[in-house]
Structure 1
Amino acid sequence: MKEIIGTVPLFSELDEIELAAISTLVSSKHVGKNSIVVQEGESGDAMAIILSGAVKVSQYASDGREVVLCLLEKGDFFGEMALLDTEPRSATVTTMEESELGFIRRKDFARLMLEMPRLTSKLLAEITHRLRRTNLVLAHISTMDVSHRLYAYLNDYCEQYGRLRPDGRIEIKLPTHQLVADQLSTSRETISRAISALTKDGVIIPLAGRGRVKVDVAALDQRIEDF
């Protein structure tokens, strides 16, 4: 477990002794695809680290419509807000594939934050980064058309989860068109047309494997700058 915990960015600045201490407090659980891990409005007493797999974080509008806030993958974490303010869960978290999750209870995490200042600093930095990203997404939704929202989204996704290829392009596993649409406040059909246009222009090149593509980030940047 210590080796896996050491690959999580939240714990990247900790030493071997600290990682060993954390690993003894993590309870791992295998969760099937499309399972609700956290329910909006419920009380929470643990945060979770994604050891493998992926989840979506969403809220539901008054009309029952799902609004996807973000997607999280291996190395990301969620549920920390309920540990910091003891308020009910602010969103629902659902697995998008079979996942392995590591849970840390509130009382254990509170002790870790007191004993490990670097962990506290890293957590605050990550929360701040997420808030900035949320503000940026809201700004994009209010000021950009759908195509440019998609360009900005793909750019951010490549930065977070992409792998640099020898040709300079970034390889990612593209979320389903519906998931992208849910995050950008538009329809699946609109996203499908926009992605098809990017593929036709060579900005996105499909690869072997479901959803795997390589992206010309420089071309995306240029399109965003031209907006």
Structure 2
Amino acid sequence: MLTSVDRLLFVRGVPIFKELRDDFLVRLASIMDEQEFPPQHTIVSQGQEGRSLYILVKGSVRVHADNQEIARLDKGACFGEMSVFDAEPRSASVTTIDRCECLTLTQQQLYEAIEETPSIAVNIIRLLSRRIREQNQKINKLQNGSINRRLSDGIYQKLTGV
């Protein structure tokens, strides 16, 4: 998959790791495992216990819950980070769209890394906050669309008597 230099350069570009010192990135990159997944493979399943976060090195995945797509993620994106922190079942499933290569980091590896370099926790909080904000915006759009639809239906009914 990646040489140690390529792995370091790749990890350096991942949003949650961008502000970390190079010495820490070298250590972090060296402990991550590499995994490959075929197309249409479910990497994590909604409701399943999870103890690893995944970083997409190659390919793209579909994040979905209850048969509804939530997002599509590409190279450099990470997923699975929520279960690593709260030890709750996975909130969504992640399925490969095409062949994917991932770096994985277990909960234990991540906790040890955070103890050594606490700033990684701040970066992860930023990532989670960004994702919450994006979901809130989607919810607001859906709610506004629903309100507008109800208003226009009400006006139509009054005008047409239907």
Category of TM-score, reference length = shorter chain? 0.7 to 0.9
Equivalent residue for 1:70?
A: 71
**Match status 1:2 vs 2:17:** no
Q: Which of 1 and 2 has greater Rg?
A: 2
% same residue: 25
Give the aligned partner of residue 106 of structure 1.
107
- The equivalent residue for 1:42 is 48
**Residue correspondence of structure 1 range 134-173 to structure 2 within 5 A:** 134-144=135-145
2:23 to 6, 17, 32: 17
Query: What secondary structure sits across from 1:137 in the alignment?
Result: helix
TM-score normalised over the length of structure 1: 0.59
How far, CA to CA, are the matches of 1:4 and 1:23 in structure 2?
Answer: 9
Aligned positions, number: 140
Displacement, 1:142? 1.6
SS in 1 for 2:73: strand
Please tell me whether residue 33 in structure 1 is matched to residue 34 in structure 2.
no
Cα deviation for residue 144 of structure 1 reads 3.0
Match of 2:60 in 1: 54
1:2 positional shift: 1.3
Query: What is the CA deviation profile of residues 57-94 of structure 1, one whole-angstrom value per residue up to 9, with x for unaligned ones?
Result: 1111xxxxx11111111111111111111111111000
Unaligned residue ranges in structure 1 (runs of 5+): 61-65, 146-227
Give the counterpart letter for 2:48 in structure 1.
E
Aligned partner letter, 1:57: V
Superposition deviation, residue 46 in structure 1: 0.8
**Alpha-carbon deviations, 1:87-127, whole Å to 9, x = none?**
11111000111111111011011111222122111100110
* Contact 2:15–2:127 (CA under 8 A) maintained in structure 1: no
Q: Read off the aligned partner of 1:2 and give its amino acid letter.
A: L
Q: Which stretches of structure 1, 4 residues or more, deviate above 4 A after TM superposition?
A: none
| Higher relative contact order (CA closer than 8 Å, sequence separation 6+) | 2
1:97 is aligned to 98
